[in-house]
Amino acid sequence: MNRLATQCCVLIFALAGSLQAQDLRKYRVQSSGTRPKPSALSSVPARVTGTPRPAKVRARPASSRMAQDPIDESEMIVDQGEMIYDEESMVQDQDQGQVYYEEDSMIVEDEGFEESYGGYGECASCGDQGCGSCGSGSPFGFDLCNPSGDLPGRQLCICLPSHGWVSVDYLGLFASGMNMPALVTSSPAGTSQSLAGILPAASVLYGGNDDAFSNQINGIRVRVGIWSAVRPNFGIEGEYFGFSEQDESFTASSTGSPILARPFYNNITGLQDAELVAFPNLLSGSVQVEATSRLDAAGVRFRHILCCGEKGSCSPWDCGPVVAQSRIDATLGWRFIQLDESLTVTEDLSSLNLNNPGSFRIRDDFQTFNQFNGLEFGFQWLYRRGCWSLDAMTRTSVGVSRQWLQIEGSTRSPRDAAPQIGGLLAQPGRNIGIYDRNEFGVVPEFGTTLGYQMTERLKLNVGYTSIYWSNVLRPGDQIDNTVNTNLLPPAIPGNTYMGQPFAVREVDYWVSGFTAGIEYRW
């Protein structure tokens, strides 16, 4: 009897254990032990029913799911990579066909993950494929071969420190000087009135050379750019540089001695001549020359990485490893340059002859405006070794230069009277007027920069830059010193201008010099 009772108890316990095991299969099973994981594998959850299926689509990261959520087959995405799983951790409900998983149950090899997401296996700096670690492996603070610091497909991801950049540079440049004829002359005391101020015997006080605006000009350049998170090899950059307005002036005055004059070529006599500003017992007066110049430029360009390489070397100081990278970018964009200049000569004369009193105020004004818009294309080479960098770039812009010239002249006699049209070098019917036209223009640019990476995001730069601009109008070149004295206000009626017609003159313009600044990357 006791033996029969014992057998019945064993049978009841066995049946109860079997039913409990079937209930537990509907829930996630936590393993009490630890399982070894391959060290080169990354965790990516994926659904497995029975035997592994060929990988077709990519799965959402495990961190975005609840541990107990079922996996919808329509969401499953894994491009490539070998599926490795633990049968003990995957449990399928036989009744409902749902699969539950442990957080670390499904893993995909790193090689397959990079192929799926387009990772940069050769020279990427993002070791764990996350935004937070982008650039952490680079001694430069960013990776030349992967400047966006991100995997393709992310719509919004600000990766530190290699997603964008801004640089501010001081420009200390020298421009090509503006040419102008001799505008003010002087003669020694005792020179006769008929020879006073006339070239070539007279001495030139201002003009007669190409030195105007040839001194150093100070400016600033700002560049801002960003690399695409969707297309890591593509970026966009904006640039502006400008200079404060330059001013050059010359002033001379005399009560009659020393002699002052304004030279010109007399078209009536065919000889050199001069208008007196100050002469003993005849005239006292002053002459002032003012010139201004301002240069501004801007550009927007797309950048595309053509190729990139990386190699290691040994430091001669501590024999430690030093990473060296080089890259070549192609650029395509739009370039804008504007040059605004003016030149004004003003005379203020008073007669010293008591029998012929009077006063004059004479003004000649030449203004030019040049504006270039064109297509820009070029290449940029970048090299990094340790904390040092060397960049070189060359660009060429081809487009249209708008040329605008205005010539005005006026004479007041006496000096507070209403102005009459015409000065000395600006004459009606000869050159006074507005000239506006478009001409073909070319703007090449070359630059090189040496940099030192101070911190992960901050770099100091020094360099050299040079810009050339063809077909430019400058006011000094538009001064024609040929004068018909019969047309000087008040003009003699019935006299027409004789000689060659006025022609607008084009010249070449360039600026070059050194740069120094700072660059910040984020």
- Render pLDDT for 361-419 as a digit per residue (tens, 0 to 9): 999 999 999 999 999 999 999 999 888 999 999 999 999 999 999 999 999 999 889 99
- Tens digits of per-residue pLDDT, 461-493? 999 999 999 999 999 999 999 998 888 888 877
Question: What would the DSSP string read from start to end of 260-296?
Answer: EEEEEEETTTTEEEEEEEEBTTTEEEEEEEEEEEEEE
DSSP designation for 241: E
Structural contact between residues 209 and 243, judged by C-beta atoms closer than 8 angstroms? no
Indicate the pLDDT class of residue 210, thresholds 50, 70 and 90. confident
Q: Say which residue the tokens 């017609």 belong to.
A: 501
Least confident of 145-154, 312-321, 487-496: 145-154
Give the whole-angstrom CA distance, residue 184 versus residue 285.
13
Is residue 153 pLDDT above 60, yes or no?
A: no
Give the whole-angstrom CA distance, residue 457 versus residue 161.
6
Distance of CA 445 to the CA centre of its chain: 12
Can you give the pLDDT at residue 214? Answer: 87
pLDDT above 90 as % of the chain: 52
Higher-pLDDT residue of 393 and 145 is 393
Give the whole-angstrom CA distance, residue 298 versus residue 303.
16
* Phi and psi torsions of 116, nearest 5°: -70, -40
Cα R_g (the chain), whole angstroms: 41
Q: Say which residue the tokens 């017992």 belong to.
A: 281
List C-alpha distances in Å: 270 to 482, 483, 492.
9, 10, 19
Is residue 213 pLDDT above 80, yes or no?
A: yes
- Tens digits of per-residue pLDDT, 498-517? 667 889 999 999 999 999 99
Other beta carbons less than 10 A from residue 118's beta carbon: 11
* Termini Cα distance of the chain: 85
pLDDT above 70 as % of the chain: 66
Query: Residue 456 carries which side chain, given as an amino acid letter?
Result: E
Q: Which phi-psi region, left, alpha or beta, contains residue 61 (left: φ > 0; alpha: ψ -120 to 50)? A: beta
Is residue 74 pLDDT above 60, yes or no?
A: no
The token duo for 53 is 């299926």
| Three-state DSSP class for residue 73 | helix
Is residue 327 pLDDT above 60, yes or no?
A: yes
Question: What would the DSSP string read from start to end of 457-476?
Answer: SEEEEEEEEEEEEEEE--GG
Exposed/middle/buried for residue 446 (C-beta within 10 Å: 0-12, 13-18, 19+): middle
**Mean pLDDT across 131-148:** 53
Give the whole-angstrom CA distance, residue 387 versus residue 379.
23
Structural contact between residues 331 and 394, judged by C-beta atoms closer than 8 angstroms? no
Can you give the pLDDT at residue 125? Answer: 36
Is residue 296 pLDDT above 60, yes or no?
A: yes
> What are the beta bridge partners of residue 448?
392, 464
Q: Say which residue the tokens 């010249």 belong to.
A: 507
Q: Quickly count helices (H) and strands (E) in the chain.
A: 2, 24
Q: Which residue from 293, 301, 296 is spatially nearest to 171, judged by alpha carbons?
A: 296
Other beta carbons less than 10 A from residue 494's beta carbon: 6
The token duo for 287 is 């002459």
Structural contact between residues 441 and 400, judged by C-beta atoms closer than 8 angstroms? yes
- Tens digits of per-residue pLDDT, 14-69? 545 554 444 443 443 333 444 444 443 333 333 333 444 444 434 444 434 444 44
Can you give the pLDDT at residue 357? Answer: 86
Can you give the pLDDT at residue 7? Answer: 57
Is residue 144 pLDDT above 50, yes or no?
A: yes
* Phi and psi torsions of 386, nearest 5°: 65, -130
Indicate the pLDDT class of residue 145, thresholds 50, 70 and 90. confident
Predicted structure pTM score: 0.69
Average pLDDT, the chain: 77
**In the chain, where the domains are located:** 164-521
The token duo for 349 is 């004369």
Enumerate residues 6+ apart whose C-beta is below 8 A from 21: none
Structural contact between residues 237 and 303, judged by C-beta atoms closer than 8 angstroms? yes
DSSP designation for 192: -
Ordered alpha helix ranges (H), 82-165: 110-117
Is residue 119 pLDDT above 50, yes or no?
A: no
Can you give the pLDDT at residue 166? Answer: 95
Strand runs (DSSP E) across 146-233, as ranges? 164-175, 178-180, 184-186, 203-206, 209-212, 216-227
Other beta carbons less than 10 A from residue 155's beta carbon: 6
Can you give the pLDDT at residue 151? Answer: 42
Higher-pLDDT residue of 517 and 108 is 517
| Three-state DSSP class for residue 186 | strand
Can you give the pLDDT at residue 491? Answer: 80
List C-alpha distances in Å: 352 to 197, 271, 284.
18, 27, 7
Structural contact between residues 86 and 104, judged by C-beta atoms closer than 8 angstroms? no
Give the whole-angstrom CA distance, residue 169 versus residue 416.
49
Give the whole-angstrom CA distance, residue 45 versus residue 26.
19
Can you give the pLDDT at residue 312? Answer: 66
